[in-house]
Amino acid sequence: MIRGWCFVLVYGMGFHLKIEREQELEPNKSYMFCPNHASLMDGFVLIALSKNPIVFVGKKELVKIPLFGFFYKKVVIMVDRSSPKSRKRVYEMAQERLQNGTSIAIFPEGLVPPENVVLAPFKNGAFSLAIQHKIPIVPHVYYDCKRLFSWDFFKGNPGVFRVKQCAFIKTEDLTKEDKERLKEKTFSLIYNELENDRLYMKDTNRQNNEREFKSPLS
């Protein structure tokens, strides 16, 4: 039901989805989705594109956003980053969902960075979970969400959200000592995709980016 609602939301707002898949998902298999984060639309795009059931890990504060918060709490394992107990609970809940064949989605930047940032540094959570549960990393690259659905009131318009589902990164043979290497590999892959996209970089480097628009997702 939520996936259908995401389709209605995305297309009803005048957007279209165009996805390039370097590798296809297998039904009833768990994955760790790791997209770059640039817009409030990112989560809706991911849900709309994936037939595999997904649960997100995200900040509990976002449940307060009107309407968005209602759907947010239905598909998100909420975490209070200031609480070690809450962070431990995330791992326990993620393990339960993964055993049921559900996939996990974590925006590894942990926030929506200022619009003049190509890609913010990644946090560890997604990679620790992927290694612990031996599930593949699925890097997603969102080229247009920031440009077409911005936090800047004077910017944005209907258009095509281009998404690239990159080849999966295996974790079966990795241990916790490989976490940094896995994180760096995923970061470099997504960063290079964004840096080589003319439209994304033109928008990221635009002159008025010194205003550094913030969002409730920061």
Query: What is the per-residue pLDDT across 118-161, written as a single tens digit (0 to 9) for each?
Result: 999 999 989 998 998 899 999 999 999 999 998 777 788 999 99
Give the pTM.
0.85
* Residue 112 domain boundaries: 16-205
Confidence (pLDDT) at 173:
95
117 belongs to a structural domain: yes
Confidence (pLDDT) at 214:
58
Confidence (pLDDT) at 10:
93
134 belongs to a structural domain: yes
10 belongs to a structural domain: no
160 belongs to a structural domain: yes
The count of domains in the chain is 1
With pLDDT > 90 as the criterion, what percentage of the chain qualifies?
49
9 belongs to a structural domain: no
217 belongs to a structural domain: no
Which CATH number covers residue 174?
3.40.1130.10
Confidence (pLDDT) at 155:
81
Backbone phi and psi for residue 101, each to the nearest 5 degrees, phi listed first:
85, 10
Confidence (pLDDT) at 211:
54
- For the segment 83-103, the average pLDDT, to the nearest whole number, is 72
- For the segment 95-111, the average pLDDT, to the nearest whole number, is 82
214 belongs to a structural domain: no
Q: Is residue 208's pLDDT more than 60?
A: no
Q: Is residue 212's pLDDT more than 70?
A: no
50 belongs to a structural domain: yes
